[in-house]
């Protein structure tokens, strides 16, 4: 019982370390000109780091950004694919994969802008895969850092040029999207709010594109203005339900999401604002409309874990696995939750499945060691903790220290 109580005490802290592992990845900074990523470390240093830390998904992502600047697209794709293989729910890496084709083949922007009806079959295939990665990124994290979009966007005309030719509303639309894609969420929110205010006096221009509300809602959420974000996403739902075709309004950025995903976003914003009851309700509504929306199960499990309702949390972890069996990181989540519930036999099974499929995932090996130690399988536990020590990226020394403590006890 004492070991189990100890597990409960430090589980949340170490799990936060594991789930927050990727947050220190070097990301694009706001840029005055698009198409380039301003990195604070040299490409040579990033290549050195990825060789030394080959099991670190963030290291692979970081070096991919350096290759992006050098237009080494084969290398970019390779490193991003390794990053998501190591950490299947690395939202920034999925978003980068979504926009890689647009950076790699700049003509796609023009082809989409000029397409009056359908697009060519080869281009449709590229767009479909891009949309899949785009959706995955935002389902993993509705507030994923969007600055990679600026790196994939070709340099364009200035705000003033757009205003001179198309007028102030078009210029504000253009500038708001640029602000958001460069991570200037405060500016984006203010610019698009001004656009909407001006549009009230110019309704003869017709309906505004949906992505104005999409961008403004995301910018508001990034700024923790959740009430405004919810208002924008409710507008998107209302518009789509009124006329589904309008959601396909053209723009520099396509928005390949649907009503149910908007509900999911609203649930996430409510959860972030502390309105967990409403978040739970909306996640349930989203799941009623799409049983395969695995991310909603993940979010519900998180809510139930905070409430200490581990039975419901375990159910949702199982539901997430069933909805998306290819993502073995969900098995790791299931194993950890089962361990928290004291169900170590089941936890070991789930974590074994995770380490079999993600053999370089240090966090999965750590929790497997915990489960096996709880079951009295000392040799197996030692093997798991030794894998932690051998595999852990340099940024995870706290986890290594914990593994070594367990190894000392198991001697």
The pLDDT of residue 140 is 95
Q: What is the mean pLDDT of the chain?
A: 83
Q: Taking residues 357-361, report their average pLDDT.
A: 95
Give the range with max mean pLDDT: 9-13, 177-181, 377-381: 377-381
Tell whether 216 is covered by a domain: yes
- Structure-model confidence comparison of residues 167 and 342, the more confident one: 342
Q: pTM of the prediction? A: 0.85
CATH value at residue 63: 1.25.40.10
Domain shared by 130 and 36, yes or no: yes
15-36 pLDDT, tens digit per residue, is 333 333 333 454 444 343 456 7
Domain shared by 45 and 109, yes or no: yes
Domain shared by 85 and 10, yes or no: no
Q: Taking residues 128-149, report their average pLDDT.
A: 92
pLDDT at 373 over 90: yes
- Structure-model confidence comparison of residues 13 and 160, the more confident one: 160
Of the three residues 251, 277, 301, the one that is the final residue of a domain is 251
Tell whether 367 is covered by a domain: yes
Tell whether 8 is covered by a domain: yes
Q: What domain range includes position 45?
A: 31-152
Tell whether 299 is covered by a domain: no
Tell whether 82 is covered by a domain: yes
Q: Taking residues 235-242, report their average pLDDT.
A: 84
The pLDDT of residue 111 is 64
Tell whether 242 is covered by a domain: yes
Q: Taking residues 348-373, report their average pLDDT.
A: 96
Domain shared by 46 and 102, yes or no: yes
The total domain count for the chain is: 3
The pLDDT of residue 171 is 80
- Tokens 């505004």 locate to 208
The pair of three-digit structure tokens given for residue 87, joined into one six-digit string: 């950490």
Of the three residues 216, 251, 286, the one that is the final residue of a domain is 251
Three-state DSSP string of the chain: CHHHHHHHHHHHHHHHHHHCHHHHCCCCCCCCCCCCCCCCCCHHHHHHHHHHCCCCHHHHHHHHHHHHHCCCHHHHHHHHHHHHHHCCCCHHHHHHHHHHHHHHCCHHHHHHHHCCCCCCHHHHHHHHHHHHHHHHHHHHCCCCCCCHHHHHCCCCCCHHHHHHHHCHHHHHHHHHHHHHHCCCHHHHHHHHHHHHHHHCCCHHHCCCCHHHHHHHHHHHHHCCCHHHHHHHHHHHHHHHHHCHHHHHCCCCCCCCCCHHHHHHHHHHHHHHCCCHHHHHHHHHHHHHHCCCCHHHHHHHHHHHHHCCCHHHHHHHHHHHHHHCCCCCHHHHHHHHHHHHCCCHHHHHHHHHHHHHHCCCCHHHHHHHHHHHHHCCCHHHHHHHHHHHHHHCCHHHHHHHHHHHHHHHHHC
pLDDT at 250 over 60: no
Q: Taking residues 126-143, report their average pLDDT.
A: 91
In this prediction, residue 233 has a pLDDT band, given cuts at 50, 70 and 90, of very high
The pLDDT of residue 26 is 47
């Amino acid at each position: 019982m004492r070991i189990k109580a100890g597990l409960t005490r430090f589980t949340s802290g170490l799990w936060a370390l594991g789930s927050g592992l990727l947050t220190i990845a070097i990301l694009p900074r706001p840029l005055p000109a698009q198409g380039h990523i301003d990195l604070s470390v040299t490409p040579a240093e990033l290549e050195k780091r990825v060789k030394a830390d080959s099991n670190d998904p963030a290291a692979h992502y970081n070096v991919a950004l350096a290759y992006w600047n050098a237009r080494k697209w084969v290398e970019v794709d390779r490193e991003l694919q390794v990053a998501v293989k190591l950490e299947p729910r690395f939202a920034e890496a999925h978003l980068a994969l979504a926009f890689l084709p647009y950076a790699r083949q700049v003509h796609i922007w023009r082809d989409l802008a000029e397409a009056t009806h359908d697009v060519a079959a080869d281009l449709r295939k590229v767009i479909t895969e891009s949309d899949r990665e785009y959706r995955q990124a935002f389902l993993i994290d509705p507030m994923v850092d969007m600055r990679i979009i600026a790196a994939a966007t070709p340099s364009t005309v200035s705000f003033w040029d757009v205003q001179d030719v198309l007028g102030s509303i078009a210029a504000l639309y253009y500038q708001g999207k640029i602000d958001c894609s460069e991570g200037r969420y405060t500016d984006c929110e203010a610019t698009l709010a001004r656009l909407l205010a001006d549009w009230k006096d110019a309704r003869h221009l017709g309906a505004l594109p949906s992505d104005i509300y999409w961008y403004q809602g995301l910018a508001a959420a990034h700024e923790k203005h959740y009430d405004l974000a919810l208002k924008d996403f409710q507008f998107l739902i209302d518009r789509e339900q009124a006329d589904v075709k309008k959601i396909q309004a053209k723009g520099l950025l396509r928005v390949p999401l649907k009503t149910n995903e908007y509900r999911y976003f609203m649930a996430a914003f409510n959860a972030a604002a502390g309105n967990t009851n409403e978040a739970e309700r909306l996640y349930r509504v989203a799941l009623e409309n799409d049983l395969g929306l695995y991310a909603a199960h993940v979010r519900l499990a998180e809510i139930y874990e905070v409430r200490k309702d581990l039975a419901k949390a375990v159910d949702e972890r199982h539901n997430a696995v069933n909805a998306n069996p290819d993502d073995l990181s969900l098995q790791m989540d299931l194993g950890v939750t089962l361990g928290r519930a004291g169900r170590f036999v089941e936890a070991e099974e789930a974590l074994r499945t995770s380490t079999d499929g993600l053999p370089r995932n240090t966090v999965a090996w750590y929790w497997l060691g915990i489960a096996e130690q709880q079951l009295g399988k000392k040799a197996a536990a030692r093997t798991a903790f030794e894998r932690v020590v051998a595999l852990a990226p340099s940024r995870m020394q706290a986890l290594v220290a914990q593994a070594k403590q367990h190894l000392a006890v198991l001697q």
